[in-house]
Chains A and B, each alone.
Chain A
Amino acid sequence: MPWLSTLMGVSVLGALGVTLVRNDKLAKQFTLVVSLIVLALTVAMAVQFSPNGDKFQFAETYDWIPAFGVHYGVAVDGIALVLILLSVILVPIVVLASWHDAEAGKRSVRTYFSLLLVLEAMMIGVFAATDVFLFYVFFEAMLIPMYFMIGSYGGAQRSYAAVKFLLYSLFGGLLMLVAVIALYSIAGKGTFMFSDLVGTIQDVTTQKWLFLGFFIAFAIKAPLWPFHTWLPDAAAQAPAGAAVLLVGVLDKVGTYGMLRFCLELFPDAAKFFTPLVITLSVIGIVYGAIVAIGQTDMKRLIAYTSVSHFGFIAMGVFAMTTSAGAGATLYMVNHGFSTGALFLIAGFLIYRRGSQFIADYGGVQKVAPILAGTFLVAGLSSLSLPGLSTFVSEFMVLTGTYQRYVVPAVIATVGVILAAIYILWMYQRTMNGPTAESVKSLPDLNAREKWVVAPLVALLLVFGFYPKPLLDVINPAVKDTLSSVSVTDPQPAVPVAQEGQ
């Protein structure tokens, strides 16, 4: 069964279907059903995935544009699989969470949900693409639905934020296009299939240039310091649901691209640029955290925490140890859940009070205990409390990095402490203390909102205590990736007892 095409096909047909439904309420329910079907299909696919089988599974390859050597090629390895799972789990949650988002702006509800499903198809496609050109097409095309979601349904500064988002991403994408074309020309294989292109570029100087073309695009997408400035604007202005997909999934395409394309296609260049990338990541970790502490706007604060977290992910990718690589991949998934939960709960709060400013809140815990409680869990997950899933991944990234790069790992640990400050301080200012006059009548989470938050909290707890199912899938894929870069894990530097002592 062509699983991946089916997944995308269902989403696209769903998107078309939504536009045909004449009733807004029905359109929402329809979207929810479609996204649940996609989720169910993905789970059915994931069950059949064998972690120690072929590297790429469920492969489909057809000629698309033979004149350019472009194929419609999709398949998943462990890394892509977990990221697709992340996407399709988040979409129904986002649908449920966005129930009233489109109405608030008095804009077409059906268009919003249609865009959401189009985006879902593209998110699946971008992680599944095994043809570099197809990847590029999805990489660029997925900007458009997100652009309209931010620009049409976002906050007061939405059009500024949407344009900034689009232009930054487009610029990065176009640089990547040059690299993609050059890769094709230099490889001279007449094909864009990823598997055919791996290892074709031997010349290190060429590798370096091409690496930069890809890397800058991914760094903007991720976003890595100093390419991050679009994110706080976009995330703060986007409706909560779109912000979740933006930070939770779309940005992961950047780090996924680094892992898949930058490392495997240009291994020598990747090694050459590692010190630079690690430095940028460490700066991002500390800078994002410090700036987050200073934010007065809740959504911007969460966006800056992501800048910090993406630093961890990028550092894990480029540390090039199995532990760090697997940790980074796991981090991509966990971050999607934890930041997703944070954005959604903050979104519920903002929807109730009509303000994003932290100063407008206080003592919410007393009036809306469930909201406050789930907010705390999501927050604690974001600061990597042991027992919650991000802890596992952050720990793996730090130990994995420490094996090879001691100083950056140590500095990055500071980020963990700063995380406690920004999360707990935000929690304290909004949820604790005397109840502010304006939030006295704030209702607690309703049934729909509980359904939104419950699965996320459950996932954070489950994978916090038992990340093995994910790691089983991720580990072989990461090992495979690193072996194609031909690095091996450094031996543990434990002093061996001398004989005769």
Chain B
Amino acid sequence: MNGTIEAPTIEYALLAPLLVVFGAAIVGVLVEAFAPRYLRSAIHLPLTLLSLAGAFALAVWQAVKGVPTKPAAMGAVAVDGPALFIWGTILILAFVSVLLIKDEEHFVGSAAAVPGSAEEEQSLVERAAHTEVYPLLLFAVGGMLLFPAANDLLVAFVALEVMSLPLYLLCGLARRRRLLSQEAAVKYFLLGAFSSAFFLYGTALLYGFAGSVDLVKINQALGAVGGQDTLLYIGAAMLGVGLLFKIGAAPFQAWKPDVYQGSPTPITALMASGTLVAAFGALLRVFWVGLGGLDWDWRPVLYGVAILTMVVGAVLAITQTDIKRMLAYSSIAHGGFLLIGVIATGHTQAENTSALSGLLFYLVAYGFTTVGAFAVVTMVRDAGGEAWHLSRWAGLGKRSPLLAGVFAFFLLAFAGIPLTSGFFGKYAVFQAAVANGATPLVIIGVVASAVAAFFYVRVIVLMFFSDPAADGPSVVLPSRGTAAVVGVAALATVVLGVYPQPVLDLAHTAAQSLFVR
């Protein structure tokens, strides 16, 4: 009252997983600054893995102890069931991606050196390594954790930037095809910056409408404030653009193939799994919690976006000749299928729960399969690095039946064949959509699935039914980390495909309380 500001109450225990990850990231920066070069990698790796594992353990402990019913940190961060579930998923996927990164061949020795220059030669000779990859990654993961839990648009914006900025950098660090990688980084940065601006502008307009950036208050204002519809609609649309960009929904998908192709493959794996999960979590929270009362207005728009995304993803993937670009388009198509789940809300809590749990399950299933698929991509090498061109994959089934078999299995999971995790993911979302009257959307989804199956199958045809080229790529003996990643991903794809009940239960429990308000 007399000029003092009350200290905010912060539930540190609830936010512990976040704090652990950010803390480790800061320690990582200190390591970069003070530890001798030859020790850095040896310190970073256990630090990163331990912090991710610790954060996971804390998240699990939190979930076991009981999910809070109120947002934490003065209403800024909501650590609720869905958020904890998404945290768990992201942390596992990040952990797995770090195992891929460990193989440092993926990263350039000195990013500042011009490709092909003497400096680059020098860095190769010196065996220089960008060990700051690890703290950067931790910051990105921290952002991914905060983004879906942000209960307030400003926190969401901060999280978005914390997540994205390290990723822009990481994208440009590929050891091979330096120019492609740098181009990807620039593209991602520019487009990402635009989308952030859209997000921020939308936030500002919604603040103008509701007088608050708190999602709950915005939702309350929807029914209470009149005469400000222009602000509301433009604000919501802008916010939507920012979010849809991050999940790569059409017509904002253009960055995805380029960025996925150019980035070092472990980073692609992280983006294709972790970022997608985080962005979907945030999208759900904003549209369900913040703009839930406006669903009559955004639903038709998202309907259209979902259709466009599925069609664009499935159709353009057919024309791809690069394995990573193909997987990128496949990820766009899957984004479309996931959007069906966002639209599949109903009138009762039970219906919403089934939609949300279906979506959560799909995210887990898709995340694991994606990481596994990219891990396989890192193992198929030409003289100049990874063998990206599809024609190079011909006859892989004969050269290396096990690896090709596992990859074919991942592709079948993407295609949604029964007894793989992808099938139940799709099924869960489609079922919720049919139950809530979005059958036409499901039919379009089914047709898109059939189209998408074509290009997955085409890769299988290449691997198994064609004869290998004489100078075909070699399959590197995987490092223990990569082997573990492929193994875990394959196992998850099988188990979720044959016995999905436990994870479905978990998703259902997480979704039960829906989002806290």
Could you tell me which residues of chain B, from 434 to 466, have a CB within 8 Å of some CB in chain A? 434-435, 439, 442-443, 446-447, 449-450, 453-454, 457-458, 460-461, 464-466
Q: Does B483 contact A (CB under 8 A)?
A: no
Total residue contacts A-B, CB cutoff 8 A: 89
Which of B417, B427, B453 touches A141 (beta carbons < 8 Å)?
B417
A167 with B453: CB separation less than 8 A: yes
The answer on a CB contact under 8 Å between A178 and B439 is: yes
Q: Does A53 contact B (CB under 8 A)?
A: no
Which of A90-98, A158-166, A403-411 forms contacts with chain B? A158-166
**Are B465 and A162 in contact, CB atoms less than 8 angstroms apart?**
yes
Contact A141-B419, Cβ < 8 Å, known A151-B461, A163-B457, A178-B446: yes
- Say yes or no: is A368 at the interface (Cβ < 8 Å to chain B): no
CA distance A137 to B398 in the complex (A): 29
Q: Does B228 contact A (CB under 8 A)?
A: no
In chain B, residues 102-137, which have Cβ atoms closer than 8 Å to a Cβ of chain A? none
**A381 in contact (CB, < 8 A):** no
Is A136 an interface residue when CB atoms closer than 8 A count as contact? yes
Chain A residues, Cβ within 8 Å of B466: 159
User: In the complex, which of the residues A137, A140, A158, A177 contacts B465, with contact meaning CB atoms closer than 8 Å?
Assistant: A158
Q: Identify which of residues 412-433 in chain B touch chain A, using a CB-to-CB cut-off of 8 Å.
A: 412, 415, 417-419, 423-424, 427-428, 430-431
B504 within 8 A of A: yes
The answer to whether B453 and A178 have CB atoms under 8 Å apart is no
A65 interface residue per 8 A CB criterion: yes
Shortest distance between the CB of B355 and any CB in chain A (Å): 13
- Asked if B446 contacts A175 (CB within 8 A), the reply is yes
Is B505 an interface position by the 8 A CB rule? yes
Q: Which residues of the other chain, A, contact B458 by a CB distance below 8 angstroms?
A: 163
A171 and B448 CA atoms in complex are apart in Å by: 10
Of B424, B457, B504, B508, the most chain A CB neighbours within 10 A belong to B457
Report yes or no: B439 in contact with A171, Cβ–Cβ below 8 A: no
- B442 to chain A: closest residue by CB: A178
Residues in A neighbouring B430, C-beta threshold 8 A: 177-178, 181
Contact B450 A152 (CB under 8 A): no
* SS class, residues of chain B in contact with chain A: helix
A494 at the interface (CB under 8 A from B): no
Q: A385 in the interface, Cβ–Cβ < 8 Å?
A: no
Q: A108-B401, A182-B439 are in contact. Are A152 and B464 (CB under 8 A)?
A: yes
Q: CB < 8 Å: which of A108, A147, A182 contacts B434?
A: A182
Q: Would you give the shortest CB distance from B232 to chain A, in whole angstroms?
A: 34
Write the chain B residue with the least CB distance to A151. B465
Contact of A185 with B434 at beta-carbon distance under 8 Å, contacts A140-B418, A178-B443, A178-B446 already known: yes
Residue B500 interfacial (CB < 8 Å): yes
Asked if B479 is at the interface (CB within 8 A of a chain A CB), the reply is: no
A131 CB to closest chain B CB, in angstroms? Answer: 13
Q: Say if the beta carbon of A59 comes within 8 Å of chain B.
A: no
Asked if residues A67 and B501 are in contact (CB atoms below 8 Å), the reply is: yes
Q: Check A67–B418 contact: CB distance below 8 A.
A: no
B412→A152 contact, CB < 8 A? no
Complex CA–CA separation, A67 to B431 (angstroms): 11
Contact of A174 among B450, B457, B461 (CB under 8 A): B450
B352-385 residues with Cβ-Cβ distance < 8 A to A are 357
A144 interface residue, CB < 8 Å from B? yes
B424 — which chain A residues lie within 8 A by C-beta?
65
Complex interface residues of chain A between 314 and 334 (CB less than 8 A to chain B): none
Q: Is the interface of A mostly helix, strand, loop or mixed?
A: helix
Q: Chain B residues near A66: list those with CB within 8 A.
A: 501
Chain A residues, CB < 8 A from B457:
147, 163, 166-167
Q: What CA separation (Å) do A94 and B357 show in the bound complex? A: 45
Q: Which of A26-54 contact B (CB under 8 A)?
A: none
A144–B456 Cα distance when bound, in Å, is 13
B415 contact set on A, CB distance < 8 A: 170
User: Which residue of B is nearest A209, CB measured?
Assistant: B439
List A contacts of B465 (CB < 8 A).
151-152, 158-159, 162
A68 lies within 8 A of chain B by Cβ: yes
Cβ-closest chain A residue relative to B420: A141
| Whole-angstrom CA separation of A170 from B505 in the bound complex | 29
Cα A137 to Cα B499 in complex, Å, equals 13
A45-79 contacts to B, CB under 8 A, are 64-68
Contact of A67 among B401, B461, B505 (CB under 8 A): B505
A108 to B500, CA, bound (A): 32
Instruction: Kindly list chain B residues whose C-beta atoms are within 8 Å of the C-beta of A143.
Output: 417
Q: How far is the CA of A182 from the CA of B458 in the complex (A)?
A: 31
Which residues of B in the span 484-511 have a Cβ within 8 Å of any Cβ on A? Answer: 499-501, 504-505, 508
Q: Are A177 and B434 in contact (CB under 8 A)?
A: no
**Candidate in A64, A68, A143, A162 with the most chain B CB atoms within 10 angstroms:** A68
In residues 107-161 of chain A, which contact B (Cβ within 8 Å)? 107-108, 111, 136-138, 140-141, 143-144, 147-148, 151-152, 158-159
Tell me whether A151 and B464 are in contact (CB under 8 A).
Answer: yes
The docked-state distance in angstroms from the alpha carbon of A31 to that of B403 is 25
Report the separation of the CA atoms of residues A6 and B469 in the bound assembly, to the nearest whole angstrom.
Answer: 44
Which residues of B sit under 8 angstroms from A138, Cβ to Cβ? 418
Shortest A250–chain B CB gap in Å is 15
Within the assembled complex, what's the spacing in Å between the Cα atoms of A140 and B424? 13
Q: Is A215 part of the contact surface with B, judged by Cβ < 8 Å?
A: no
The CA-CA distance from A137 to B424 in the complex, in Å, is 11
Best-surrounded residue of B424, B453, B461 (most CB of chain A within 10 A)? B461
Report yes or no: A65 in contact with B500, Cβ–Cβ below 8 A. Answer: yes
Q: Quick check: is A184 within 8 A (CB to CB) of the other chain?
A: yes
- In the complex with contacts A65-B501, A66-B501, A151-B461, A174-B449 CB distance below 8 A: yes
Question: Assuming A141-B418, A178-B434, A178-B442, is B464 touching A148 (CB within 8 A)?
Answer: yes
Q: Which residue of A lies closest to B412 (CB)?
A: A144
Q: Which 8 A-B pairs have the closest CB atoms?
A: A159-B465, A137-B418, A67-B504, A174-B446, A171-B450, A151-B465, A140-B418, A181-B434
Provide a sorted-by-A list of 22 A–B residue pairs whose CB atoms are within 8 angstroms: A64-B501, A65-B500, A65-B504, A68-B431, A108-B401, A137-B419, A148-B464, A151-B460, A158-B465, A159-B461, A162-B461, A163-B454, A163-B457, A163-B458, A166-B453, A167-B457, A170-B417, A170-B450, A171-B450, A178-B430, A178-B439, A181-B427
Give me the interface of A with B, judged by CB distance under 8 Å: 64-68, 107-108, 111, 136-138, 140-141, 143-144, 147-148, 151-152, 158-159, 162-163, 166-167, 170-171, 174-175, 177-178, 181-182, 184-185
Apart from A67-B508, A178-B442, what 16 extra A-B contacts exist at CB < 8 Å? A67-B357, A67-B505, A111-B401, A136-B418, A137-B419, A140-B417, A144-B412, A144-B417, A152-B397, A159-B465, A163-B454, A166-B453, A167-B450, A167-B454, A170-B415, A177-B446
